[in-house]
Every structure is written in structure tokens, then in C-alpha cells.
Amino acid sequence: MRMTRKTEKSAGPSEAPRRKGFGLRGRMFVLFFFIPIVLILIASLLYMRQLNSLSSHLAQRSSDTVTKVTEEVVAQRGREVASQCKVYLITHPELKKAFFNYDLKFKRIAVQKIGVTGYTAIYETPGPDGIWRLWTDVNPNVVGIDTSTLKDSLGESFPGFWKIYTGVKGGRESQGYYKWRDPDGSLRDKFMVCIPIEGTNYVLAATAYLEEFTEAARFMQQSAAQFALKTRNIVIGILAGTLILIGFTVALYGYKLTERIRSLTYVADRISVGDLDAKVTGIASKDEIGELALAIKRMQESIRLAIKRMKERG
């Protein structure tokens, strides 16, 4: 039986028979695009989560450290003032408590500023009448009053204040936070240390808004949050750019590779039906596809030579 050369040529590679299934291009997409992107996304999310966690942790630790240091500064300042008051009272036994706030020398010692709005004051532990009285203060209108009457102005904040204020029973120091109502009606956290003045019935109270001292820590927290947000945006930008670059590269390379394979498949199919004039492309390529094209070209020449010999013999 003699083979004949088919002269009709197909219109293009699209006419080659196609096998159903997951093609090479789809596999390349999954292996070189989908899986790497999923891994990059997971790594980026973990990185951003750790960054936010680290940023928040450092900011919180810094804030806590600054707060503790500031509390100790206020307490130490109160102890120094209490010691000064003790010396003055010992050396001036004639000074009566009713004149504490009017003796300018003693008032300068007993009422000292702490920070911007903080200050120290002196009050007395209860005597037989059971009343806690204030004897020096920046506000002369409260000197000599029963401090339990502050409940009217402090309202719900009074129990916190009173717990610290009366916590000096037994000669121990007392400290903590309470809400203080400012002239504008707003409530803010205030820190107070109450230190008994040794050898007397008096107590030195040192109070201040710690936010005046922790402004730098709050600024650090804000800067850390902004840095984390900026870093997150950069990571998202890099991730988006990487996604586009990988997608474009895989799509372009996959398209070129599969087109070359489809072209060689088409040529092999044409040769299989006797079309020995089908042009084999890609021979110049230096990769495996080029080797495949060269092998198909050799097969085409071998078949052509075999047919020629058969004709010469026939």
C-alpha cells in the first residue's frame, strides 16, 4: 500500500484535536501563580499581624514603664516635701494648724507644684471628732473643711478618692488613681500619694495628672501605630505589585510555551495523516521545545525519504 502526500493544509493550530482535562497552562497557573501567591499572602498577613502585635506591645510596655516611673517620681517628690514639712514643724512648735496655710514660709514648703497642675497639700488624720480636715491647699476656700464634704462635688468619683485619702491609717503610705472633676466639668484620672509626716498627725498628699508626664509615651504610641499602618500599606503595595508581575510573567510565558507545544502538536498531527509539507517551527530554540521540534523535523525528513525510496522501487 503506497502512502500519498496530502496537499490540503489546515487553517491553523486550532483545528488540531484537543484532549479534555487540566491543560499545561492551567497547571502552570496553579503551580507558579496561585500557590506562590497564596503562600505570599499568608506570609504577609502573618508578618503584618506580628508587626502590629510587636508595635502595640512595645508601645504598651513603654507606656506602662513611663507611668510607673512617673508614679515613683510623684511619690518621691511627696516624700521629700513631707520630710521638709517635718523639719519645719519640729523647729516651729508654736505654729498652729489653723495658720498652716497663712504662714508663707510653711506654705511654700507644704504646697509645692508637681508638674504643670499637680501640687502637694497637708491634711490631718481624725481626732476625737473623727473628722479628716485639710490644712494647706492651693485653694484657700477648702482649708479647714471636713474633707468628707467633697462627696458633694466629686459625686461618683468620691469613693476612689476617699479610699486613697484615708488609706494612711496605721502610718502607712497610700496611693492610687481617682477621678477629679475639672472646672469645666470634665472628669480626668488623677494620681495621688498620701505620706504620713513622721511624728505628727498630719499627712502630705501629692497629686498630679500623670498625662502631663506621659505625653511622650502617648506620642510614641501614636508614632508606633502610624509606623505599623505605613508598613502595612507598603507591604500591601509590594504584594499587589508582586501579584501583577508574577501574573503577567506566568501568563505570558505560559501562553508562549503552550502555543509552541500546540504548534508542534499540530505539525505532528498533520504528518501523521500524510502532510509532509507542514512547516516545523521552533527548531532554532535552544531549550527542550527546540529539541522536540528538531526531532519532529528529523521524523518528517525520514518519512519523506522513506516514501521517496518506495516510489523509486515501485
The residue ranking higher by pLDDT, 228 or 71, is: 71
313: confidence class by pLDDT, cuts 50, 70, 90: confident
CB 132 within 8 A of CB 148: yes
pLDDT tens-place string over residues 142-199: 999 999 998 887 788 899 999 999 999 888 999 999 888 777 777 788 899 999 999 9
For the chain, give the mean pLDDT: 81
- Complete DSSP assignment for 241-252: HHHHHHHHHHHH
Q: What is the pLDDT of residue 86?
A: 96
Burial category of 261 from C-beta neighbours within 10 Å (exposed 0-12, middle 13-18, buried 19 and up): middle
Separation of alpha carbons 287 and 248, rounded Å: 22
Helix H or strand E encompassing 217: helix 215-272
Instruction: Tell me what percent of the residues of the chain surpass a pLDDT of 70.
Output: 85
98: confidence class by pLDDT, cuts 50, 70, 90: very high
pLDDT tens-place string over residues 113-157: 988 888 999 999 998 889 999 999 999 989 999 999 988 877 888
> Grid cell 502552570 — which residue?
28
pLDDT at 19 over 70: no
Separation of alpha carbons 118 and 192, rounded Å: 9
- The pTM score is 0.57
| Domains detected in the chain | 78-213 (3.30.450.20)
Kindly list the distances between the CA atom of residue 86 and the CA atoms of 99, 120, 255, in Å, as whole numbers in the listed order: 16, 14, 91
CB 244 within 8 A of CB 40: no
